[in-house]
């Protein structure tokens, strides 16, 4: 398998509470990978660990950059900070707080080239009338479109999105999934953290990792037998239980 990045035996702690329990999480290059699980499963923490937004208490992060997994070309970036990883081609869009409230929509797009900005407004034409507005005055869905548009405009190798459909209308979400499929077809590596497999993007998904209580309980292709049953185990609950003793329940 040709890899982009991988967590190896990754553990993340918050004081005495552990969010990831020795997770191995390979991300193939130029493919669409989905991290599935309910709130508290560790999906968001896994993305943060890949991006360098949280430190590991144990384990490693290896950056392959499209090299074969056994080529020996992996670089250990465990100690590399989030800013340095972003400079090397990673972009993370968190589920919340992905825009600067005091900056306008136009300000957010100001570092994009004219072609990139046009592509953002073509994907999300709703942003066109909002260019002079401060991001903090936008609705949740409008902020999400802005954050996603800025991320898609960047020439990063690896794009990680935490619940990107949050707050988006179905038609807008369909446009987003079409754009992501096109990005993957062009060679970009995309990772989505979702509570359930998005039906609009299933055909483009290459690898699924199901997380449950900080551990990976399934890794495979979306069509593999057993995924449905395992996903049901880790599916969102209408009445989620509170954290167990000694466990921190991350997103």
What are the C-alpha distances in Å from 4 to residues 7, 74, 141? 11, 9, 30
Q: Is the pLDDT of residue 251 over 60?
A: no
How many C-alpha atoms does 42 have within 13 Å on its Cβ side? 30
Q: In the structure, what pLDDT confidence band is assigned to residue 224 with cuts at 50, 70 and 90?
A: confident
Mean pLDDT value of segment 186-215: 88
Cβ 166 vs Cβ 144: under 8 Å = yes
Q: Count of CB atoms within 10 A of residue 23's CB?
A: 23
pLDDT at 247: 31
Q: Is the pLDDT of residue 250 over 50?
A: no
pLDDT digits (tens, 9 = 90+) for 18-40: 999 999 999 999 999 999 999 88
**Predicted TM-score (pTM) of this structure:** 0.87
Domains of the chain: 31-54+81-233 (3.40.50.300)
Q: Count of CB atoms within 10 A of residue 219's CB?
A: 14
pLDDT at 233: 62
pLDDT at 67: 63
pLDDT digits (tens, 9 = 90+) for 53-99: 999 999 999 999 766 666 667 899 999 999 999 998 999 999 988 99
pLDDT digits (tens, 9 = 90+) for 123-171: 999 999 999 999 999 999 999 999 999 999 888 899 999 999 999 999 9
Angle (CA) 7-178-227 rounded to 5° is: 50
Q: How far apart are alpha carbons 26 and 80 in whole angstroms?
A: 18
What is the CA 9 to chain-centroid distance, rounded?
A: 19
Cβ 212 vs Cβ 20: under 8 Å = no
Range name among 7-11, 37-41, 95-99, 202-206 with the lowest pLDDT average: 202-206
Of the candidates 211, 209, 207, 188, the one whose C-alpha atom is nearest the C-alpha of residue 90 is 188
Averaged pLDDT score across all residues of the chain: 88
């Amino acid at each position: 398998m040709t890899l982009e990045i991988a967590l190896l035996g990754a553990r993340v702690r918050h004081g005495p509470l552990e969010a990831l329990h020795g997770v191995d999480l390979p991300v193939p290059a130029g493919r669409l990978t989905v991290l599935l699980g309910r709130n508290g499963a560790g999906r968001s923490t896994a993305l943060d660990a890949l991006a360098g937004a949280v430190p590991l208490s144990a384990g490693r992060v290896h950056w392959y950059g499209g090299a074969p997994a056994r080529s020996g070309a992996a670089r250990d970036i465990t100690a590399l900070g989030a800013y340095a990883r972003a400079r090397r081609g990673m972009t993370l869009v968190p589920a919340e707080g992905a825009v600067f409230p005091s900056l306008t929509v136009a300000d957010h797009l100001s570092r994009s080239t004219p072609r990139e900005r046009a592509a953002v407004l073509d994907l999300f034409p709703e942003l066109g009338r909002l260019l002079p507005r401060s991001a903090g005055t936008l609705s949740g869905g409008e902020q999400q479109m802005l954050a996603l548009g800025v991320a898609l405009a960047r020439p990063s190798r690896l794009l990680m999105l935490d619940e990107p459909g949050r707050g988006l209308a179905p038609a807008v979400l369909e446009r987003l999934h079409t754009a992501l499929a096109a990005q993957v077809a062009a060679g970009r590596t995309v990772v989505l953290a979702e509570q359930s497999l998005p039906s609009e993007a299933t055909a483009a998904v290459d690898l699924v990792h199901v997380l449950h209580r900080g551990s990976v309980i399934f890794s495979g292709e979306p069509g593999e037998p057993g995924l449905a049953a395992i996903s049901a185990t880790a599916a969102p609950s209408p009445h989620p239980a509170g954290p167990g003793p000694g466990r921190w329940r991350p997103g």
